[in-house]
């Protein structure tokens, strides 16, 4: 069990790392969040994954980003669910698998994440990778709108 000084330092690094990420100071965010991600902190894993997936302050590494999203998802990090869906939909960091994408978007939608609902609506409206289903698309769009 960490003592309160370690807990305070962990919280301060996490808060500072999130603030650095949000202000787009990605090198500082990485310095603060990488050690926390190594300890398994879900928020740090997700944010590190976002930087790796998009090459923010570092060279893109989509495979490592996917692994970090999966680690965060094991701790029920909802935004990681969404990003795993994106990865499966686009084939970034993992082999493209539209059925897995839908499954992960639906997991995120269960937590009222509008972006995942909108992605599902687009997939069903588009009808290129899944059979087109306008009713299903409209239902997802309506649900996204309600949760926006």
Predicted pLDDT of residue 2: 47
Residue 30: half-sphere exposure toward Cβ, Cα within 13 Å: 12
Predicted pLDDT of residue 1: 43
Find the DSSP H helices in the chain.
4-22, 26-38, 42-54, 62-73, 78-90, 98-109, 114-126, 134-147
CATH 1.25.40.10 fits 4-111, yes or no: yes
Q: Where exactly are the structural domains of the chain?
A: 4-111
Predicted pLDDT of residue 144: 97
Predicted pLDDT of residue 4: 66
| C-alpha to C-alpha distance for 125 and 95, rounded to whole angstroms | 23
Predicted pLDDT of residue 127: 95
Residues lower than pLDDT 50 in the chain: 1-2
């Amino acid at each position: 069990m960490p003592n309160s000084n370690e807990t305070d330092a962990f919280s301060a690094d996490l808060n500072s790392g999130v603030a650095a990420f949000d202000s787009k100071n990605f090198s500082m965010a990485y310095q603060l969040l990488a050690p926390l991600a190594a300890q398994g902190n879900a928020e740090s894993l997700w944010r590190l994954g976002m930087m790796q997936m998009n090459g923010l302050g570092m060279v893109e590494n989509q495979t490592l980003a996917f692994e970090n999203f999966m680690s965060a998802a094991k701790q029920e990090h909802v935004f990681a669910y969404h990003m795993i869906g994106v990865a499966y939909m686009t084939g970034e960091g993992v082999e493209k698998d539209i059925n897995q994408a839908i499954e992960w978007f639906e997991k995120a939608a269960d937590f009222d994440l509008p972006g995942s609902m909108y992605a599902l609506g687009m997939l069903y409206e588009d009808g290129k990778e899944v059979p087109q289903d306008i009713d299903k698309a409209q239902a997802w769009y309506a649900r996204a709108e309600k949760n926006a």
